[in-house]
């Protein structure tokens, strides 16, 4: 008898002005950790949703685990203020680690996705207006991760988002886009929750 298990399939839901080029490092490290990246929501065992992508998790799905990273929810704070804070922090971080080339490439990708994903952005906006964050069903687990320096996700989200009562909450040190650049701790969380 073999102990063979199928590799879990992961589907990534990108946020505002994000797409596959932004998630390249995450997908590579998921493969190295034994996961399969899928382009089909219906085949996913795991959803990883970032920022506005948290608003696009399908209501009905077969995934066993949903990871919500930095969902955009901060009552009383205008999104324009959050965006300005994020841009300033991105610039400061990339300047500090002397990697302005990566910031330039990321900004180029963001611009391209901003121009090419308008229908998805409209769906995010409509879902945000009705707090369209997912709720678990039939044994599914949902983990919410907030990066400590995220300007879009309230530090009190675990207490003020109505759906959060059903979530496992984690706070990581770092910035809004850390999952794209330093995915190891996110993958470790997936491993621990799936066990």
Confidence of residue 1 (pLDDT cuts 50, 70, 90): very low
Q: Check: pTM over 0.85? Answer yes or no.
A: yes
Q: What token pair was written down for 21?
A: 């080029």
* Average pLDDT, integer, range 24-28: 96
The model's pLDDT over 41-66, given as tens digits with 9 standing for 90+, comes to 999 999 999 999 999 999 889 999 99
Considering the segment(s) 9-194 as one domain, its CATH architecture is 3-Layer(aba) Sandwich (3.40)
- Predicted pLDDT at 47: 97
The Cα–Cα gap between 126 and 106 comes to 26
Q: What percent of the chain has pLDDT over 70?
A: 92
- Predicted pLDDT at 109: 66
Is the confidence at residue 11, as pLDDT, over 70? yes
Place of tokens 């080029």: 21
| Three-state SS letters, the chain | CCCCCCCCEEEEECCCCCCCCCCHHHHHHHHHCCCEECCCHHHCCEEEEEHHHHHHCCCCCCCCEEEEECCCECCCCCHHHHHHHHHHHHHHHHHHCCCHHHHHHHHHHHHHHHHHCHHHHHHHHHHHHCCCCCCCCCCCEEEEEEECCCCCECCCHHHHCHHHHHCEEEEECCCCCHHHHCCHHHHHHHHHHHC
Confidence of residue 3 (pLDDT cuts 50, 70, 90): low
Confidence of residue 142 (pLDDT cuts 50, 70, 90): very high
- Predicted pLDDT at 5: 67
Q: What is the chain's mean pLDDT, rounded?
A: 87
* Average pLDDT, integer, range 63-85: 91
Q: What percent of the chain has pLDDT over 90?
A: 52
The Cα–Cα gap between 186 and 177 comes to 12
Confidence of residue 97 (pLDDT cuts 50, 70, 90): low
């Amino acid at each position: 008898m073999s102990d063979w298990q199928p590799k879990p399939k992961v589907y990534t839901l990108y946020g505002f002005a994000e797409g596959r080029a932004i998630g390249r490092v995450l997908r590579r490290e998921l493969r190295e950790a034994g996961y399969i990246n899928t382009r089909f929501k219906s085949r996913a065992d795991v959803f990883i949703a970032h920022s506005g992508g948290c608003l696009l998790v399908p209501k009905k799905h077969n995934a066993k685990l949903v990871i919500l990273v930095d969902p955009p929810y901060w009552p009383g704070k205008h999104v324009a203020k959050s965006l300005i804070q994020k841009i300033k922090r991105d610039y400061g971080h990339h300047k500090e680690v002397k990697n302005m080339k990566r910031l330039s490439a990321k900004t180029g990708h963001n611009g391209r996705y901003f121009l090419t994903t308008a229908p998805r952005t409209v769906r995010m906006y409509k879902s945000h207006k009705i707090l369209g964050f997912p709720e678990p069903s039939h044994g599914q687990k949902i983990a919410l991760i907030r990066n400590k320096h995220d300007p879009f996700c309230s530090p009190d989200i675990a207490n003020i988002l109505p759906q959060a009562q059903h979530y496992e909450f984690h706070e990581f040190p770092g910035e809004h886009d850390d999952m794209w650049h330093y995915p190891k701790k996110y993958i470790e969380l997936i491993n621990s929750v799936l066990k």
